[in-house]
Amino acid sequence: GNSVTQMEGPVTLSEEAFLTINCTYTATGYPSLFWYVQYPGEGLQLLLKATKADDKGSNKGFEATYRKETTSFHLEKGSVQVSDSAVYFCALHGSSNTGKLIFGQGTTLQVKP
């Protein structure tokens, strides 16, 4: 079945460091891929998305490229800020065309000043 695997957290970085959060997936067909962010005490917000191979999603300095050959969608940011501290979720749409999102386990990012 479809699944998403993210790197284990927590990830602790200093401000202005480079961020990579790895995400790989298993899916039939051509799923759409998403990164969601959950700030403390809040709901999930869509950070970025990619709907086909080689698409690059970007938002607020974050980027991720849909790599079909490696079944990956790694999240990157060149210079993190304290305000980026949150839980990041990689997700895909299942192949059943029901809108069901399958999430990775989430990666907690803590950025220290």
Partner 1 sequence: DTAVSQTPKYLVTQMGNDKSIKCEQNLGHDTMYWYKQDSKKFLKIMFSYNNKELIINETVPNRFSPKSPDKAHLNLHINSLELGDSAVYFCASSPLKNTEAFFGQGTRLTVV
Residues of this chain that bind partner 1 (CB under 8 A): 32, 34, 36, 38, 42-46, 49, 87, 89, 93, 97-101, 103, 105-106, 108
Comparing CB distances to partner 1, the nearer of 34 and 66 is 34
Antiparallel, parallel or unpaired: β 56-59 and 75-77: unpaired
| Smallest distance from partner 1 to CB 62, Å | 15
CA 105 to each of CA 23, 33, 78: distance values in angstroms, whole numbers, following the listed order: 10, 15, 23
| Smallest distance from partner 1 to CB 28, Å | 14
| Smallest distance from partner 1 to CB 7, Å | 14
Comparing CB distances to partner 1, the nearer of 71 and 106 is 106
- Phi and psi at 84, nearest 5°, equal -85, -5
| Smallest distance from partner 1 to CB 10, Å | 11
Task: Fill in the amino acid letter for 50.
Answer: A
Comparing CB distances to partner 1, the nearer of 70 and 98 is 98
Among 8, 23, 109, smallest CA distance to 74 is for: 23
CB atoms within 10 A of CB 50: 21
- The rounded distance, in Å, linking the Cα atoms of 66 and 72 is 6
Comparing CB distances to partner 1, the nearer of 17 and 101 is 101
